[in-house]
Amino acid sequence: MVSLCLTPLPPSTPPTHPRKLFESSSSLSLNSYHSIAGGALKPIVVNGNPPTFVSAPGRRIVAVGDLHGDLDKARCALEMAGLLSSDGQDLWTGGETVLVQLGDVLDRGEDEIAILSLLRSLDIQAKAKGGAVFQVNGNHETMNVEGDFRYVESGAFHECIDFLEYLDECRSDWEEAFVSWIGVSERCKEDRKMSQNYWGPLNLVKRQKGVIARSMLLRPGGLLACELAQHAVILKVNDWVFCHGGLLPHHVAYGIERMNREVSHWMRGLSEGENSPQVPFIATRGYDSVVWNRLYSSDISDLEDYQIKQIHAILEETLQAVGAKAMVVGHTPQTVGVNCKYDSSIWRIDVGMSSGVLNSRPEVLEIRDNMARVVRSRRDTYSQLQIVDYTNNQSK
């Protein structure tokens, strides 16, 4: 087991708010949390490789759902949460906050590598402030590593071409190219669109070149696959467990850290032994795998009472086995926005914000002192927020 200690700067104590719907400016309601004087927070401690168990005492936790290649919506969600500067400089403003992004950055949009680059850049900045950024791989990450490109937009193929060319300019220095890509990707995209011949008769050839570039980056052992391999499929932060689809009792029995390690090794093109499966089935394939499971995300209005009780029992068994208070999942777009069910034991935070999905307004989940609330924009300008506090005795 690997243990990493992240030392924070002097901290803050979260304010308390009445349990009601209220409106406030993002700068006041969110960023003020980091400016209130208080005692020094203990360091963030990370166990597992990739990260599996995280102790982040006293931290505000923000969870963001599926982004699907939409850089504009990703930035809006992060700005709304008080984590990203609004001046276009992509600076971390979250102080000691812990950000968890629940996967499906890939597919359905054209700025996938740019979003991954932004999150990595923010992680570097956050650690210097006593915070951290974690990512969880979703089913679209595992699909792409398997070579399943069904949901890839043409612009995303071209981003792969541009990125490989930029990597060559950086003399194959992956770290330099990947972290700085967020700063050059939009320029590359504009240059590409200005090309008169870009959408000409050679478009098919360009697409084939894009498929090759994507395959090179995302095949097991590829540079981008190895980057994704640094992320877990299941992450436990304090008393909360985060995964893309949903965790089940047999997943916990199999071993959370074991699953994370096997998926990571597969993405790196490694194998733990002759009997190890080439693709970690329990985590990445099948309707009840960690990244595909929708058991907790289905609309309970379509279920009978006995089915609701069964699902609730499975969820409680899972949480007890993993030692968690609640689970946070993405994967299944929630047309009603971020919501919780089963006595607030499950939080569903995929709102389909990407223009390639539902093009809905961004929403994020904020956790303070083990209490969760939803932060959403009041208008498209994102200058005003609605914040909804939830109690633990919400609806089933």
pLDDT over 70 (residue 201) = no
The sheet that has 363-368: what strands, in order across it? Answer: 21-25, 384-389, 371-377, 363-368, 61-64, 98-101, 132-135
Flag whether 346 is in a domain.
Answer: yes
Do 220 and 228 contact (CB within 8 A), yes or no? Answer: no
Residue 351: its H or E element = none
Residue spans of alpha helices (H) in 278-352: 281-284, 305-322
Distance separating alpha carbons of residues 327 and 236, to the nearest angstrom: 9
Residue 292 domain-assigned? yes
In this predicted structure, the answer to whether residue 31 has a pLDDT above a threshold of 70 is no
Residue 269 lies in a domain: yes
CATH of the domain at 264: 3.60.21.10
If DSSP codes are grouped into helix, strand and coil, which group holds residue 87?
coil
Residues recognised as catalytic: 140
Q: In what helix (H) or strand (E) does residue 45 lie, and over which residues does it extend?
A: strand 44-47
| Strand bridging mode 234-237 / 384-389 | unpaired
303 in any annotated domain? yes
32 pLDDT band, cuts 50/70/90, is very low
For residue range 319-356, what is the model confidence (pLDDT) as tens digits?
Answer: 999 999 999 999 999 999 999 999 999 999 999 999 99
C-alpha dihedral sign at 169, 170, 174, 176:
negative
The DSSP H or E segment spanning 259 is helix 256-267
Among candidates 327, 325, 334, which has minimal Cα distance to 298?
334
Domain that holds residue 53: 45-149+229-375
Q: For residue 340, give both structure tokens.
A: 């919780």
Asked if residues 353 and 78 have their Cβ atoms less than 8 Å apart, the reply is no
Between residues 207 and 49, which one has the greater pLDDT?
A: 49
Please determine, for residue 217, whether its predicted confidence score (pLDDT) is greater than 80. yes
- Asked if residue 159 has pLDDT above 50, the reply is yes
**Is 130 within the bounds of a domain?**
yes
DSSP code at position 140: H
Residue 34 lies in a domain: no
Number of domains in the chain: 1
Weakest mean pLDDT among 234-238, 248-252, 336-340, 389-393? 389-393
Q: What is the distance, to the nearest Å, from the Cα of residue 180 to the centroid of all Cα atoms in its chain?
A: 20
By DSSP bridging, strand 44-47 and strand 21-25 are unpaired
| Residue 196 located in a structural domain | no
Q: How do residues 70-123 score in pLDDT, each as one tens digit?
A: 999 999 999 999 999 999 999 999 999 999 999 999 999 999 999 999 999 999
Is residue 19 over pLDDT 60? no
